[in-house]
C-alpha cells in the first residue's frame, strides 16, 4: 500500500518496495520497510504488468484532472483521487466486490494472493531464491519451509528426467498420485 509512482522505474521495468504504511487510523505515516529484506527491487513483466500499470497511471491522471486537482508523481499507485493512501477497510471492501464479481469464495483474503503466486512460481520451477527475493523473505529456506507443498511433485519429475537421460527418452509419462488423484 506504500507503493508510489516514483517507486516505478518504467525504463528499468522494476518497482522498488521501500516503504510501508505504519500505524492505525487516519494518520498513517509512510515509513521504511520493517527489514532490509522487505526493501527490494521487483522486476515487472513487460508484456502484461507494465501496460496494466501504465493504463492505471493514465486513468489516475484523468480522474485527478477531472476532480480539478494537479497531478503529483509522488502519489500512491493504489491511492485515492486525492492522492492519499487507501484505507485498509476500503481496500478490503473493493476486494470482496471483485471476488463476488469473479465468482470466487468470499473467504479469500488479499494475502492469499501472495500465497497463490508463490505456490504457482515454485510449482513451475522458479527457484526458492528468486521467490524468496520477490516475497521479501530473508532466506530461501524460509520460503521453502512455507511452500514445500508446492514442490512435492518435483521429486517424481527429477526421477522421470533421470530416466529420460539414462534411457534416451525425450519425454517421461506423467505420474499419478493415487491417494490424491493428481498428476
The per-residue pLDDT for 174 is 55
Strand partners of residue 40:
17
The pLDDT score that the predictor gives to residue 78 is: 87
Q: What's the chain's average pLDDT?
A: 84
Dihedrals phi, psi of 16, to nearest 5 degrees = -105, 115
pLDDT of residue 158: 80
Query: What are the C-alpha distances in Å from 123 to residues 147, 148, 154?
Result: 9, 10, 8
Q: What are the residue ranges spanned by the domains of the chain? A: 1-108
What is the structure's pLDDT at 173?
54
Give the residues of the chain that fall short of pLDDT 70: 25-26, 71-74, 170-183
Rounded to the nearest 5°, which phi and psi values hold at 30?
-85, 120
Q: What is the pLDDT of residues 158-177, one digit of tens each?
A: 888 888 888 887 654 555 55
CATH class, domain 1-108, is: mainly alpha
The reported pLDDT for the residue numbered 155 is: 77
pLDDT score, position 26: 66
> If 0-12 CB within 10 Å is exposed, 13-18 middle and 19+ buried, where does residue 125 land?
exposed
CB burial of residue 128 (10 Å; 0-12, 13-18, 19+): buried
Using an 8 Å Cβ cutoff, are 135 and 114 in contact?
yes
C-alpha cell of residue 157: 519429475
pLDDT at site 179: 46
For residues 3 and 131, give the distance between their C-alpha atoms in angstroms, rounded to a whole number.
Answer: 20
Amino acid at each position: 500500500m506504500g507503493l508510489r509512482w516514483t517507486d516505478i522505474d518504467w525504463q528499468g521495468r522494476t518497482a522498488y518496495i521501500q516503504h510501508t504504511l505504519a500505524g492505525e487510523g487516519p494518520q498513517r505515516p509512510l515509513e521504511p520497510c520493517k527489514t532490509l529484506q522487505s526493501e527490494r527491487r521487483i522486476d515487472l513483466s513487460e508484456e502484461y504488468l507494465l501496460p496494466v500499470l501504465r493504463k492505471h497511471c493514465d486513468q489516475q491522471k484523468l480522474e485527478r484532472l477531472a476532480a480539478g486537482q494537479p497531478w503529483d508523481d509522488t502519489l500512491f499507485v493504489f491511492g485515492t483521487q486525492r492522492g492519499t493512501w487507501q484505507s485498509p477497510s476500503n481496500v478490503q471492501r473493493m476486494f470482496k466486490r471483485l471476488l463476488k464479481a469473479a465468482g470466487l469464495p468470499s473467504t479469500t483474503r488479499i494475502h492469499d494472493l501472495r500465497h497463490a503466486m508463490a505456490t504457482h512460481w515454485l510449482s513451475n520451477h522458479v527457484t526458492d531464491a528468486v521467490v524468496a527475493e520477490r516475497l521479501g523473505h530473508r532466506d530461501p529456506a524460509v520460503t521453502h519451509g512455507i511452500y514445500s507443498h508446492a514442490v512435492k511433485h518435483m521429486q517424481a519429475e527429477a526421477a522421470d528426467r533421470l530416466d529420460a537421460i539414462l534411457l534416451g527418452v525425450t519425454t517421461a509419462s506423467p505420474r499419478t498420485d493415487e491417494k490424491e488423484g493428481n498428476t
